[in-house]
């Protein structure tokens, strides 16, 4: 019986659509995410990957469709009602989105300050523990402006997991990092899943990362999901749209446009 409950999806999107002006960014997306799995969403830039993530956290509201989190419908909730839901989620932003008026330590401790009743020294201990987890303990007193891009992302990750969330959203976690630093992030995503049983949703166009961390990969194209399978499938699939993306080849029309421009 307990196993049955565990198998319920933690996040469900039902026929979600969103448009910005004339641009249809999401077009009837249906999706359900299982607990404890890492789902990777791939797709070209501008196909609505980040928009999809922001809908699940309630940062954006759909024009139509429903979004459910652990049995509760969240797209109709107001900001106040979303607070307990958001405490169960962590969001790693593309550029880190660290508060630059605060130190690294204050950034990581921020969700604890806001949402827990812990005493300051307990908060310090948790901050230290989370920073150690991302390999950056001892940097507490630095300001975000004084650390490198890769370190910022890891600090942001430490902040995202400060409250031990059940679900962590990663918005392009490896973009802009060198391959070695990118792999550190990939290892962290795997570690969180294995050690803390975190459900992960990774938005990326880095195929190395997608194959490494994904239990399941979705491909988004023009606002709809065009593929949903285990990573191995993508290595052999022959849908041209998927192939081109996975192999990183420009499409014929783009190439023609380049030649024409000359």
Using the contact rule CB under 8 A, the part of the chain among 27-35, 56-64, 177-185, 226-234 near another protein is 56-64
Beta carbon of residue 205, minimum distance to another protein (angstroms, whole number)? 18
Give the angle 229-28-203 at the CA atoms, nearest 5°.
50
Determine if 242 is a binding residue for another protein (CB under 8 A).
no
Q: Is 57 in the site for another protein (CB under 8 A)?
A: yes
Q: Report d(CA 168, CA 164) in Å as an integer.
A: 9
Binding segment for another protein among 106-114, 127-135, 181-189, 232-240 (CB under 8 A)? 106-114
CB-wise, 100 or 187, nearer to another protein?
100
Which of the residues 19 through 48 are near another protein (CB under 8 A)? none
Whether 155 contacts 136, CB under 8 Å: yes
Angle at 49 between CA 249 and CA 82, to 5 degrees: 170
Q: Considering the rule CB under 8 A, would residue 86 count as an interface residue with another protein?
A: yes
- In this structure, are residues 82 and 91 in contact, taking their beta carbons and an 8 Å threshold? no
Q: Which of 18, 49, 54, 55 binds another protein (CB under 8 A)?
A: 54
3-state secondary structure 161-183: CCCCCCEEEEECCCCCCCHHHHH
Half-sphere exposure of 147 (CA within 13 A, CB side): 23
Residue selected from 91, 170, 234, 245 as contacting another protein according to rule CB under 8 A? 91
User: Which residues bind to another protein, rule: CB under 8 A?
Assistant: 54, 57-59, 79-80, 82-87, 89, 91, 93-95, 97-100, 110-111, 114-115
């Amino acid at each position: 019986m307990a196993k049955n409950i565990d198998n319920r999806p933690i996040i469900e999107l039902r026929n979600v659509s969103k448009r910005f002006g004339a641009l249809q960014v999401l077009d009837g997306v249906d999706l359900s995410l299982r607990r404890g799995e890492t789902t990777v969403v791939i797709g070209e830039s501008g196909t609505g990957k980040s928009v999809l993530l922001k809908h699940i956290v309630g940062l954006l509201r759909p024009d139509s469709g429903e979004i459910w989190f652990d049995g509760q419908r969240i797209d109709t909730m107001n900001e106040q009602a979303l607070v307990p839901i958001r405490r169960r989620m962590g969001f790693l932003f593309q550029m880190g989105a660290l508060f630059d008026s605060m130190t690294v330590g204050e950034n990581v401790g921020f969700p604890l300050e806001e949402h827990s009743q812990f005493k300051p020294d307990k908060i310090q201990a948790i901050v230290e523990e989370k920073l150690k987890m991302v390999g950056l303990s001892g940097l507490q007193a630095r300001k975000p402006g004084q650390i490198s891009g890769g370190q910022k992302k890891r600090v942001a990750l430490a902040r995202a997991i400060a409250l031990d969330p059940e679900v962590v959203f990663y918005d392009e976690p490896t973009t802009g990092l060198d391959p070695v630093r990118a792999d550190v992030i990939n290892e962290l995503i795997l570690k969180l899943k294995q050690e803390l049983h975190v459900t992960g949703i990774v938005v990326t166009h880095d195929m190395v990362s997608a194959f490494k961390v994904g239990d399941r990969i979705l491909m988004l194209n023009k606002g709809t999901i065009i593929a949903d399978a285990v990573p191995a499938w993508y290595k052999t699939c022959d849908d041209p749209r998927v192939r081109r993306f996975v192999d990183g080849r420009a499409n014929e029309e783009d190439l023609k446009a380049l030649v024409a421009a000359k």
